[in-house]
Each structure stands twice: as structure tokens, then as C-alpha cells.
Amino acid sequence: MQESVAGERQMKAGAVFPGKRKIEVVALDEPRISSPTEVKLRMLEVGVCGTDREIASFHHGTPPEGFDFLVLGHEALGEVAETGPAVSRLQPGDLVVPMVRRPCPHAECAACRAGRQDFCYTDDFRERGIKEQHGFMTGFVVDDETFLNAVPRELRAVAVLVEPLTIAEKALMQIQAIQQRLPWGDSTSPGKPSGYSQRAVVLGAGPVGLLGAMALVNAGFETYVYSRESIPNPRAELAQAFGARYFCSETHDVKQLASEVGNLDVVYEAAGATQTAFDLLQVLGTDAVYCFTGVPRHGEPISIDTHALLYHLVLKNQVILGTVNAGKDAFEAAIRDLRVFYQRWPEAVRALITGRYPIEEFREPVFDRSGIKNIIVLDGRT
């Protein structure tokens, strides 16, 4: 460990300099607790995703005020190192997954004032590792207890998957809320005909897709994963291992998919691939919900048949929904469900993490798209 000129202990951080178009490991002073409800975390692991790739390609991401760089990392697992005097829920040694988004300052933003910054109206929220606040790809961070979620020890090896799972959990909660309009839609509802289950198609076999597919299987959906990679491939095998069926979009177009599946009750999109996403919208079923989670980045416009789209939307009682980020309820659901998934399918859950890198090599997993979830192992190294 080094010391800065001021005598502060220093730590390494994975940083992106948008102005200089540079990506490098920087040395930062170790942060200190400065308010009674704050917690100091020793970071253990940080997952890397497409958002980080966008930031590192200078398409997305904003440094905090006064900085010319942004520390990356929003999918994190840490261990409590120290707690402020008013911290009530956490103690040193606890494992925690921090939330990503921080509320905007505006009094009139009902969402942020209600602690639901994932529904922020003003766009002035901040996101750690993404928008105006440093992320977690470093040795230590300080954060308020409000934004930290305790994780059971038994999830130590896989808890870095909690944040990507929260995207699916928030989606699923909304889908289930909408499908309450169907007295037979919920697996627990008394109006459900015997043997009936809703069918869900997951578009994309990345971590958010596969974790979403696990959540759907676990919630009782007959689940299909639809993705580009031809069979056999590790993602298809993984999907099968936890009870989903895999279809390759190169060999099955959306009509063939729909004829295999039957009524597409739910589509959970997690690919950010506009063309396939809208192709799939054309075969969305009756009384169905289509949920978009993938952020499409800078592509050419595509054309869609708006007449058919509106016709089906109305005559088939369809709902199209977009969702971003996640609230406390989704973090809690993700922690609860990850524990269930890990008990049901321990190998499949572990197999989602395909690469581990030290912080000095953080650029590699950011740009290398092979593997499923690649992570940076920090493990208290500073």
C-alpha cells in the first residue's frame, strides 16, 4: 500500500477519462466515513457489463463534478470494514451489495422523495460507476447504509450477480402486477386451470437474460431463451440445465419460435438488439406483456409495421413496458431468489461467472465480449 503526499492511504481504481479518451488504473486516497450513517466497504468483486463497455468507449458515463475521470463498476460485492455511529443494520464483516442509483435533489420528484429513484422523473439522479458518481472498481468505498443490502455468507461466491438480477426482478414484479388482470395468470391463483402456465420468451442469453430466465422458471413460467448463438453452446446448455428451452434465432425465425412456444404470454427482452426485439414484438401473444430491458446504443433506424403493431396491441390486450435500474424491493428479491437459484442449480449459477481478472487488467473484460459474466476480483487488494 502506498501513501499520498498528504499521508493518506492510497488504493487503485479502474478509471475512464472521457475528455482524454483514456482508460487506466489510477491511485486514489482511501475514503473515510464522514457522516454517522455511512459505512466503509472493502470491495471484493465487481462485475463488468455492456454499460461499462459503453462508458469505456466514451459513448456513455459522466465523471463526478470536479473530476476528469469516472471510476467504473456498478455491479458490486463488498464487505463492511467500518460503520458510522448511527449505522443500525450492518456490522463489520457483513457482505453487502450496494444499489446503483442515488436520488435526484428536487423536492417535486415524487419518485426520488419516496426512495424510488429507479423511477426518477427529472433525470438528475446519479448512478455509481455510470453517472456523476464514482463506482466500485476500487479498494474501498464509503456509502450510506440506506443504499446497502446485506447478503448471506453462503452467497459469497455468486453475490456479484445480484445487481444484474435486480434488473430481471424489477421487470418480473411489473409483469406480475400487470398479469394480475388475468385471474388465471398467476401460478398461485385459484382461477388457474390445471396444467396451465404462462409462457415466457427471453430474448438474449447474456447475464441479464439468463438470470431473468432463471427467475421466470422459478416463478413457474414455461421459459424459452431465444438468442443468436447456434447450438451447441455453453449458454444453451446452461439454459437447459435450469429448465428453460433454448432456440437459436439463426435457425428459428420469430414465426417458427412462436409456433413452437404457443401463445407468447411474456417476452423479456435483454439484448438491446432493436431489429430482433421488434421482430419478436410481431408475434407477441394475446393478453401478453412485452418487457424491454436492453439499452440499444447508437444504431441505424429500422422500420416497423406500425399498423400491425397498433392493431395487435389493441385487439390482443397487449402491454409494452420498458424498465431500468432497480429499487430496494428488487434488490431484496434478487438476494432472496439468488439463494433459491443457488440451491436449485448450484452449477448453473456458478457457470454464469466465466472470467476473473485483477484490477490491473480491468480493460480486458470490459472489451472482450467472450464469456458470460466477467468480474474484477479486488479482494481487499489496494
Q: Any residues with CB less than 8 A from the CB of 46 and at least 6 apart, and which? A: 72, 73, 75, 76, 77, 135, 136, 137, 160, 375, 376, 378
* Residue closer to ligand BGC (CB basis): 74 or 312: 74
Residue 323 interacts, among Zn ion, ligand BGC, none and using kind-specific CB cut-offs from 5 to 8 Å, with: none
Task: Tell which positions 147-166 bind ligand BGC, by CB under 6 A.
Answer: 163
Residue 325 interacts, among ligand BGC, Zn ion, none and using kind-specific CB cut-offs from 5 to 8 Å, with: ligand BGC
Task: Tell which positions 24-83 bind Zn ion, by CB under 5 A.
Answer: 49, 51
Long-range contacts of 369-374 (CB under 8 A, 24+ apart): 369/53, 372/206, 372/207, 372/210, 372/234, 372/235, 372/238, 373/47, 373/48, 373/49, 373/160, 373/161, 373/164, 373/207, 374/47, 374/48
On whether the CB atoms of residues 192 and 168 are closer than 8 A, the answer is: no
Q: What's the rounded Cα separation, in Å, for the pair 343 and 323?
A: 28
Does residue 169 belong to the site contacting ligand BGC (CB under 6 A)? no
Closest among 112, 146, 129, 1 to 54, alpha carbons compared: 129
Q: Which amino acid, 216?
A: L
Smallest gap, in angstroms, from Cβ of residue 101 to ligand BGC? 6
Task: Tell which positions 10-29 bind ligand BGC, by CB under 6 A.
Answer: none
Smallest gap, in angstroms, from Cβ of residue 233 to ligand BGC? 24
Total residues contacting ligand BGC by CB under 6 A comes to: 11
Task: Tell which positions 247-276 bind ligand BGC, by CB under 6 A.
Answer: none
* Residue closer to Zn ion (CB basis): 185 or 294: 294
* Residue closer to Zn ion (CB basis): 168 or 283: 168
Instruction: Using the structure block, give the residue that is written with the C-alpha cell 414465426.
Output: 255
* Residue closer to ligand BGC (CB basis): 285 or 365: 365
Kindly write out the interface string for residues 35-74 of this chain, putting x where it contacts ligand BGC by CB under 6 A and - elsewhere.
Answer: --------------x-x----------------------x
* Residue closer to ligand BGC (CB basis): 101 or 102: 101
* Residue closer to Zn ion (CB basis): 97 or 284: 97
Does residue 130 belong to the site contacting ligand BGC (CB under 6 A)? yes
**What are the start-end ranges of the E strands in the chain?**
10-17, 22-29, 38-48, 70-71, 75-83, 95-98, 101-102, 126-128, 132-133, 140-144, 148-151, 199-203, 222-227, 245-248, 266-269, 289-292, 319-322, 353-357, 373-377
Length of the chain as a residue count? 382
Between strands 289-292 and 266-269, the pairing is parallel
Q: What's the rounded Cα separation, in Å, for the pair 97 and 284?
A: 35
Does residue 276 belong to the site contacting Zn ion (CB under 5 A)? no
In sequence order, the β-bridge partners of residue 28 are 11
Neighbouring CB atoms inside 10 A of 153's CB total 9
Residue 265 interacts, among Zn ion, ligand BGC, none and using kind-specific CB cut-offs from 5 to 8 Å, with: none
* Residue closer to ligand BGC (CB basis): 138 or 325: 325
Task: Tell which positions 175-194 bind ligand BGC, by CB under 6 A.
Answer: none
* Residue closer to ligand BGC (CB basis): 11 or 130: 130
Does residue 100 belong to the site contacting ligand BGC (CB under 6 A)? yes
Smallest gap, in angstroms, from Cβ of residue 294 to ligand BGC? 10
Closest among 50, 101, 121, 115 to 271, alpha carbons compared: 50
* Residue closer to ligand BGC (CB basis): 320 or 324: 324
Q: Rule CB under 6 A: choose which of 26, 33, 321, 324 binds ligand BGC.
A: 324
Q: Which amino acid, 382?
A: T
Residue 374 interacts, among ligand BGC, Zn ion, none and using kind-specific CB cut-offs from 5 to 8 Å, with: none
On whether the CB atoms of residues 77 and 331 are closer than 8 A, the answer is: no
Q: Which residues make up the interface to Zn ion (CB under 5 A)?
A: 49, 51
Q: Which residues make up the interface to ligand BGC (CB under 6 A)?
A: 49, 51, 74, 100-101, 127, 130, 163, 167, 324-325
